[in-house]
Amino acid sequence: MNINQIFTPDELAGFQRELKPFRPEGAYVPGKWMVNPLNRSVGTAAGKFPARVVLRDITLRTLEQMPGMAQTQAERRELMLALAAAGVPEISTSSFRRGHTVEEMTEEVKLVKQVAPACQLVYGSVANRAEMEMAAASGYDSVQVWHATYLGRAIPISAGATYSRAWQGRDWRELRFPNTLQDHLERPQRVIRMGADLGVKVSAWINILSLTTEDYVDTYCRMACDNGAFEVALADSSGGSAPEAIARLVEVAKKAAPRLQIALHTHNMYGLGIATSIAGARAGAEVIEVAVNGLDTGPAGCQASLAGTAAALEVLYGVDTGIDLGQLEKISAVAERITRMPRTWNEPVLGSGAHECALVDDMEIEAITDPLIHGSLVSSVVGVERRFPITAATGPWTAWWKFESLGIRVTQEQVLPLLAECRRAMAGGGTLEDDDIRSIAVRWMDANSPK
C-alpha cells in the first residue's frame, strides 16, 4: 500500500503547511513531540519551575522493601549503572540497617563515578554517628535523616523502639518519648549537626506529610537550616496529599529556609504521583524522588514513575532534567528483568498502551503520515519501537499497510478476506504477533491461489 493512493505528495505537503501555525516552537519539536502550548504559559502561571529539576531515583532502595525481591549484587549494580549512564543525576541505593557494608558502599561510589562523575549517591535513614561515619568513609555524597512529623502523645504508635522493646518483653512505656515540639526536634537537630561536624551533607526529611501542618513545616525547615542541613525533603509517605497541598507546603518550606534545597517524595495511591511532583516543582522544589516503573509497595501505593516524571517535565513543560530520554526504555527493561515484574500496560510513557496503535484508518494512516496529531510523543524519543497490531477495529488501509510492512504482497482485493482470516485467528484469544500474521497469510494465500 502506497500512501499516495490516498493523498498526493502535494496534498500531504499542503496539510503540513496548514498545521504549521498550530505548532509553535518548543511545544512542537518535529519528529519528537507536540504538546499543548498552554502548558508553557498557563501551566506555569501558578509558579515558576526551577531552571533544572533533579530526579533522584530511589528504585534500589524501594526494591528492598517489596515482597519477593532479592536482587543479587550484580543485578543491583546493573540497574545502578544503567541509571547513571542515562544521566539520572542522583541515585539513592539503600538505607542503613539493611546489611550493606562500607566496602560495598565504597564500591558503589567507585563504579557510578566511573560512568558518571557528577552523579550523586544518596543513602537513607541515618540515625547515629556510626552510620554517619560509614557514609563519610564510603564517599557517599549525602545522607537522609528520616523523621516523622510531630504526632503529640501518639508518637509511640509509629516509633520503631516501641515494637523492639515489646518484642523483647520489655515495657516500651519506660522510653522517653518527646512531650513537646522542641523535644521532638532534638533528635533530628542532633543528627544533622553530627553530619555537619563530619563533613557529610544531610537531607532532613519530614515524613507522614498528610498529618503535618504549615507551622510545623516552617519550624522544621528553620531548624534544619540553622543546624547545617543542605536540603529538606517533604515526604508524603501516606500518599494523602493532593497537588495543591504539596505546592502549598513547598511554598512554606521555601519561605522558611530559602537557602535550602527542597526535595519531594510522593506516592501514586490516587494516580497523582507525577501530578503532585510536578505541582511541587512548579512551586519551587528542586528535587523529585522517583522509581523505575514506579516500583514500590505499601499503604501509599507505588512511587512516581521515573519515565513519566522525566518526560512530563521535559516534554510538557520544557524543564531540563539532564536525563537522556532515549535510555528510559532500556532502564525499564533492566528493572523488569532483575525484578521479574513486567511493567504494567498502562505505565506512564513506557506502557504498551501508549505504543501499540490498533485503531481505525483515520487514526492509523494519519499516524503513519504524521504521528503528532492524535499523538503527543513519538515512541522513539523514549527508546520504544511503536507497534501496529491487528484488532477488531483495524481498517482495510491499515491492514494493507501492515501486511506490506511484513513483506506480505497482496492486492487491494485480497486485503479484506485476509484481514477477516486474521480476525478469525484472534477469536481464540491473544494478540497476533508479526510471525503469526505471516503464517496466517502464507496459509490463506496458498489455499486461495489459482491451482
* Domain termination site, one of 339, 364, 393: 339
In this structure, the answer to whether residues 311 and 363 fall within a common structural domain is: no
- Say if residues 324 and 94 touch (Cβ distance below 8 Å): no
Of the candidates 285, 307, 339, which is a domain's last residue?
339
Number of domains observed in the structure of the chain: 2
Distance in angstroms (rounded) separating the CA atoms of residues 190 and 323: 36
Kindly state whether residue 34 falls inside one of the protein's structural domains.
Answer: no
335, 369: one domain: no
pLDDT tens per residue, range 341-388: 999 989 999 998 888 877 788 888 888 889 999 999 999 999 999 888
- Give the domain CATH number at 192: 3.20.20.70
Q: Are 229 and 203 a contacting pair, CB within 8 Å?
A: yes
What is the rounded CA–CA span in Å between residue 397 and residue 360?
9
> Could you tell me if residue 13 is inside a domain?
no
246 within a domain of the structure (yes/no): yes
Tell me: do 325 and 427 sit in the same domain.
Answer: no
The DSSP element (H or E) to which 77 belongs, if any, is helix 73-85
pLDDT in tens, 388-421: 888 888 889 989 988 998 999 999 999 999 999 9
pTM metric for this prediction? 0.92
295 and 168 belong to one structural domain: yes
Range of the structural domain that residue 437 is part of: 355-448
Domain shared by 87 and 174, yes or no: yes
Residues 332 and 419 in one domain: no
Residue 25 belongs to a domain = no
Q: Is the pLDDT of residue 1 over 60?
A: no
What dihedral angle (degrees, nearest 10) is formed by the CA atoms of 158, 160, 162, 167? 130
DSSP 317: S
300 & 393 share domain = no
Selection from 276, 268, 211 nearest residue 242 by Cα: 276
Predicted confidence band of residue 324 (pLDDT cuts 50, 70, 90): very high
Both 110 and 155 in one domain: the answer is yes
The pLDDT, as a whole number, for residue 2 is 65
